[in-house]
Amino acid sequence: PPTSSNLPSLKVSLRGCPVIFRSAMFPATMSSAGDSTSSFTTLSVTRPADSITHVELNRPEKRNAMSRAFWSEMVDCFNEIAVDAECRVVIFSGAGKLFTSGIDLMDMASDILQPEGDDQARVSWNLRRVITKYQETFSVIEKCPKPVIVAVHGPCIGGGVDLITACDIRLCTQDAWFQVKEVDIGLAADVGTLQRLPNVIGSRSLVSELALTARKMYSDEAKSCGLVSRVFPDKEAMMAGALEMAGEIAARSPVAVQGTKINLVYSRDHGVTEGLNYMATWNMSMLQTHDLMKSAQAAIEKKGPKEVIFSKL
């Protein structure tokens, strides 16, 4: 580890650090000015600041209901973000009056209510394929190595809860409420809430209560049970808070940030021994990054992370 005595040699070795600049992966979909030129119909994708991508649910007239296009566009969007070296952190929010009203009840008929197949086995097989595809819509958020901050205002219903539980950091406004609504439309939530919510809020009793009764949970309870980490008075304040937080994350080493997300997700699903083993294998490569020496040197020189330039990842 770096000490004050070996710092001079660190400085020398840093001069040879390769700095790799890659072109943006989003040239056709995002302007540097932050205007969305996204080809998606249900999502708006912009870059509000360096290294920060903003993905917005963008069907405000339908209360951001999750249409068939949404379920596949999310996968394309997050797969692009995952390999976009210009993006280090994502903010996810909803346009208009509220975050989301959940699955599009008008648009779900053909996929879910009238699945194709010549007999029961084939119908079941097709339904399984549909459900698995819908699950991927939110799993891509978790698989994306860039941290995702979700900012919820107003209602977050049904599929909205599935979505936010796959995100890394949850913020909301005072007027936000959350509803595991699926039982009310005759189904067991099947795209992530039942699997992820127990890990997010800890209390299995509360999860069962919410999922079995579909009662609304308001922002104060969401904060006290740990579903969200911060509550803001209104959307404007929340988006400013999200942007500030994203700026803090984007300023850190992307090697450290992405390794932290990946290992947090891995450790959630594995025991301590397995998690430590995975971590050791992860860091036996990642500790060789130049970012470690750059960051350590900056810390000793009492510089903040924003004063250090890290190569793109």
Ligand X SMILES: CCC/C=C/C=C/C(=O)SCCNC(=O)CCNC(=O)[C@H](O)C(C)(C)COP(=O)(O)OP(=O)(O)OC[C@H]1O[C@@H](n2cnc3c(N)ncnc32)[C@H](O)[C@@H]1OP(=O)(O)O
Q: Which residues are marked as active site?
A: 103, 159, 162, 182, 190
Please, what is the minimum distance in Å from the beta carbon of residue 182 to ligand X?
A: 5
How far apart are CB 106 and ligand X at their closest, in Å? 5
Per CB under 6 A, contacts with ligand X among 225-264 are none
109 binds ligand X (CB under 6 A): no
CB closer to ligand X, 84 vs 182: 182
Q: Is 65 in the site for ligand X (CB under 6 A)?
A: yes
Rounded CA-CA distance 66/286 in Å is 38
Check residue 103 for interaction with ligand X (CB under 6 A): yes
* Contact flag: residue 166 with ligand X (CB under 6 A): no
Q: Please choose, out of 83-91, 99-107, 198-206, 222-230, the segment that lies near ligand X by the rule CB under 6 A.
A: 99-107
Sheet holding 89-94: strands in order across? 43-49, 52-57, 89-94, 148-152, 169-173, 230-232
Name the residue nearer to ligand X (CB basis): 102 or 254.
Answer: 102
When asked if residue 129 is in the footprint of ligand X (CB under 6 A), the reply is: no
- In whole angstroms, the minimum distance from the beta carbon of 238 to ligand X comes to 19
Q: Which residue's CB is nearer to ligand X, number 51 or number 193?
A: 193
Q: Is 145 in the site for ligand X (CB under 6 A)?
A: no
182 binds ligand X (CB under 6 A): yes
- Two tokens, residue 96: 């208009």
- Token representation of residue 74: 């999310």
Burial of 275 (0-12, 13-18, 19+ CB in 10 A): middle
The residue among 36 and 100 lying less far from ligand X, judged by its C-beta, is: 100
Instruction: Please select the residue that binds ligand X; options are 17, 37, 62, 82, rule is CB under 6 A.
Output: 62
Q: By CB under 6 A, is residue 102 in contact with ligand X?
A: yes
Q: Which two tokens stand for residue 165?
A: 């539980």
- Pick from 148, 157, 172, 245 the residue near ligand X by CB under 6 A: 157
Rounded CA gap, 50 and 88, in Å? Answer: 9
Does the protein bind ligand X through residue 101 (CB under 6 A)?
yes
Our finding on whether 155 is near ligand X (CB under 6 A) is: yes
* The two structure tokens encoding residue 248: 């803090």
Q: Which residue of 14, 83, 109, 185 would you call a contact of ligand X, by CB under 6 A?
A: 185
Q: Which of 167, 191, 249, 251 binds ligand X (CB under 6 A)?
A: 191
Q: How far is CA 231 from the centre of its chain?
A: 18
| Contact residues for ligand X, defined by CB under 6 A | 62-63, 65, 97, 101-106, 112, 131, 134, 155, 157-159, 181-182, 185, 190-191
